[in-house]
């Protein structure tokens, strides 16, 4: 299962998230540092990830992501906000994230959520007789 991560925020939060991502060696992960890179990937169905983690720096950036909400349908979104400002939370919820947290929280929770989403998708694939995973837990290509 492909996971795309967009990182923008305080240096210490990005560094902690990168350390957490390093524990995901069994997963197919790509990191995007600009919105242009991230949106380019979303615009190509063959490149569209199943899970995205978005670390947003502020309300203007979140508004930009909201404009592309239609491209993120059927994608599991994990949203990391800079703070718990009510207008920021309200706009963030418009993306329908599966998990929402702030940069000050422990990112190990994100790992747990991603692992649970992957397990859920595997169960659904097995029920439908399809498989999007290879034996190592990554996306099958072909």
How far apart are alpha carbons 86 and 24 in whole angstroms? 32
Contact 75, 50 (CB under 8 A): yes
Q: State in Å, rounded, how far the first CA of the chain is from the last one.
A: 14
Rounded percentage of the chain residues whose pLDDT exceeds 70: 87
pLDDT the model gives residue 128? 64
- Comparing 100 with 139, the larger pLDDT belongs to 100
Chain-centre distance for alpha carbon 76: 7
Query: Would you state the structure tokens that stand for residue 63, as one six-digit string?
Result: 């508004």
pTM score: 0.85
Q: What is the pLDDT of residue 139?
A: 39
Tens digits of per-residue pLDDT, 21-60? 999 988 999 999 999 999 999 888 888 899 999 999 999 9
CATH topology of domain 2-128: Rossmann fold (3.40.50)
Three-state SS letters, 76-132? EEEEEECCCCHHHHHHHHCCCCCEEEECCCCCHHHHHHHHHHHHHHHHHHHHHCCCC
């Amino acid at each position: 299962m492909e996971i795309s991560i967009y990182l923008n925020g305080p240096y210490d939060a990005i560094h902690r998230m990168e350390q957490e991502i390093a524990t995901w060696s069994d997963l197919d992960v790509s990191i995007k540092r600009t919105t242009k890179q991230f949106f380019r990937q979303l615009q190509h169905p063959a490149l569209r990830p199943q899970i995205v983690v978005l670390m947003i720096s502020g309300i203007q950036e979140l508004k930009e992501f909201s404009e592309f909400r239609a491209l993120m349908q059927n994608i599991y979104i994990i949203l990391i906000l800079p703070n718990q400002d009510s207008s920021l939370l309200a706009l963030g919820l418009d993306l329908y994230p599966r998990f929402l947290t702030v940069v000050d929280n422990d990112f190990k929770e994100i790992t747990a959520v991603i692992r649970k989403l992957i397990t859920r998708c595997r169960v659904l694939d097995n029920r439908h007789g399809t498989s999007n995973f290879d034996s190592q837990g990554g996306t099958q290509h072909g």
